[in-house]
Every structure is written in C-alpha cells, then in structure tokens.
C-alpha cells in the first residue's frame, strides 16, 4: 500500500498522512492538477468525488462533491492559498452547503501537501491537515477522516500504474 504512515498530533492540532509512489514528483503533482485524475482518487472508493470547479492558482477555489452508496452528495471546497508545482499545495479545506457556500456546522482545516523526490524516480507525498482547535480535530476524525483519506490515497498506485494520464 502507498500509505506509509499516519501521524496524529493533538498538541500541534495536526494529522499527517505520508505516502510513497513509484513516480517522480511531476507525475504525482498531476494527480492534484488534473481534475479528472483527482476524481479517481479523492474520496474513498465508496464516496467517489466529482470536481465541478478546479483551479489551483492562489486565491482560487476548488469545488467538489462526493457521491455515497445511497446517493447522498456531501460537498466540499478548497480555497487555494499557495501552489508551487510540483512541490507544494496549501489550501483551506471546508464543507459546503448544497449551494456551494461554506457549511459552518463543520470545521475548516488547512491542508498542506508536500511532494518530494526520494530516489530513483520515487516520490514521497505528505498531506498535513491543521485544525483550528482540538474540538475541530476530534469532530473531523470522528467523521472518519483518517480512514477515508487513507483509502483515497491508497487508490493512487493503480492510477500511476496505467502510465499515461487517463
């Protein structure tokens, strides 16, 4: 499996997932930069994502929904803070209402994606989630964030194995 570790640090209000891939950083970055590829892995297998707006330029917004087994469609968004292809992406990750506005019943967190070469065409990707409070961290973890993100990232190897972008 691609995921090598998940670290939860309540004192620092962070959860960090680390994964390694048999691909250079530029190819791993494409998994974020191309919405059709992102749809193939963002979200666990039982909740695939559909991206309806996708622009990774700082100051822009990415919008998506996931479709659950019973047809439910929880919505989310990222407000892009920083993009440094193919190394770094920083965004504010939030839940959205059906009309796309932020759903303030759920906390936002800051996502920090780092992609680095490790050796011989391999890359390490870290996804760090920074929460505004311990209560926010506990709420999102109780909703299954760790399991969902682990399952989602676990789908990447199959995409990379296909070679050219789908």
- pLDDT tens readout for residues 7-31: 999 999 999 999 999 999 999 999 9
Rounded Cα gap, residues 26 and 149, in angstroms:
21
Q: Residue 166 has what pLDDT? A: 44
Give me the sign of the Cα torsion angle 34, 37, 41, 42: positive
Rounded Cα gap, residues 30 and 10, in angstroms:
31
Q: Taking 60 as the threshold, does the pLDDT of residue 105 lie above it?
A: yes
Q: Mean pLDDT across the stretch 115-139?
A: 96
| Torsion-angle region of 69 (φ positive above 0: left; ψ -120 to 50: alpha; else: beta) | alpha
- With H, G, I as helix, E, B as strand and everything else as coil, classify residue 84: strand
Q: Which of the four pLDDT bands, split at 50, 70 and 90, describes residue 120? A: confident
Domains present along the chain, CATH in parentheses: 3-161 (3.30.530.20)
Q: Mean pLDDT across the stretch 148-161?
A: 95
Q: Does a cis peptide bond (omega within 30 degrees of 0) precede residue 86?
A: yes
Q: Mean pLDDT across the stretch 65-75?
A: 95
């Amino acid at each position: 499996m691609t995921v090598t570790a998940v670290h939860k640090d309540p004192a620092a209000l962070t959860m960090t997932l680390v994964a390694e891939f048999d691909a250079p950083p530029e190819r791993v970055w494409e998994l974020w930069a191309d919405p059709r590829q992102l749809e193939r892995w963002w979200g666990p297998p039982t909740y695939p994502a559909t991206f309806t707006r996708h622009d990774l330029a700082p100051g822009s917004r990415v919008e998506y929904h996931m479709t659950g087994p019973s047809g439910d469609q929880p919505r989310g968004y990222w407000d892009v803070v920083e993009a440094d292809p193919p190394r770094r992406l920083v965004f504010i990750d939030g839940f959205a209402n059906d009309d796309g506005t932020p759903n303030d019943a759920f906390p936002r967190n800051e996502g920090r994606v780092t992609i680095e070469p490790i050796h011989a065409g391999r890359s390490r990707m870290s996804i760090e989630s920074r929460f505004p409070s311990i209560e926010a961290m506990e709420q999102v973890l109780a909703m299954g964030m760790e399991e969902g993100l682990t399952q989602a990232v676990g789908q990447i190897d199959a995409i990379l194995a296909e070679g050219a972008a789908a």
